[in-house]
Amino acid sequence: MQESPNKPRHFSMFRDFHLADWFTLGNAFCGTGAVFAAMRFLQEGNMRDLMVGMALIPLAFVLDALDGRIARWRNVSSVLGRELDSLADVISFGVAPAALAYACGLQGGWDWIVLSYFVCCGVSRLARYNVTAESLSGAEGKVKYFEGTPIPSSLLLVVILAIAAWRGSIGQNIWFGAVQLGPWQLHPLVLVFALSGSLMVSKTLRIPKP
């Protein structure tokens, strides 16, 4: 029996991927690797694991930048690519930095809440971008500015953590120490994550998009 010519074509992950999408998956791969590296550091205490995890975030940043350039170079864009990019960014620039921060010693009860807030801000930031991208686009169809800081800006937080780790200022020696607030501890260093998350979801902050 011959199939109807109007029957929708079965979606194939590999067939429908573009070159840029593979770079996006590389971004997600690096972010996932950073999370695993943080867990391994907590399990075995090998500083090399932590530093490898932190090094994967700049690599994810490079891959994230390349996927957009490749899509523009090949003049190929798709809804699938946009969704892949957002999902990969959540891992590499949301969950992974929070996991690395926890591994560095931001493990108080209030720290958990702040780091979770940071991740939720990143998720919200990407969701808002996806649903408003068309309305923010100019006549040429390109988004001219970001509302709030883009989530890859969390790379700066990882750089701060990497410097602290390199100087031995993590764990019990973490910068600014800890304070007891009610039943839980708060490490003041975690407040940079609160600031970063708040800037991501800012409606008034507009940053030109290159």
Q: What is the pLDDT of residues 121-179, one digit of tens each?
A: 999 999 888 787 655 555 455 566 677 899 999 999 999 999 999 999 999 999 999 99
pTM listed for this prediction? 0.84
Quote the pLDDT of residue 79.
58
pLDDT at residue 171 in the model? 94
Q: Which residue has tokens 């995890």? A: 53
Q: What is the pLDDT of residue 9?
A: 53
Residue 192 CA: distances (Å) to CA of 97, 159, 175: 12, 12, 12
Those residues of the chain that have pLDDT short of 70 are: 1-19, 68-81, 133-145, 209-210
CATH of 17-208, one of 1.10.287.610, 1.20.120.1760, 1.10.3720.10, 1.25.40.10: 1.20.120.1760
Q: What six digits make up the tokens of 200?
A: 């991501």
pLDDT of residue 1: 46
Q: Where are the alpha helices (DSSP H) in the chain?
A: 13-16, 19-44, 47-73, 79-90, 96-103, 109-136, 155-166, 191-200
Strand partners, 147: 206
The candidate with the shortest Cα–Cα distance to 123, out of 143, 156, 148, 103, is 148
Q: Which long-range contacts (CB under 8 A, 24 or more apart) does 69-78 make?
A: 70/19, 70/20, 70/23, 71/18, 71/20, 74/18, 74/19, 74/20, 76/18, 76/19, 76/20, 78/16, 78/18
pLDDT at 23: 86
CB distance 24 to 67 below 8 Å: yes
182: how many CB neighbours lie within 10 A of its CB?
8
d(CA 142, CA 5): 35
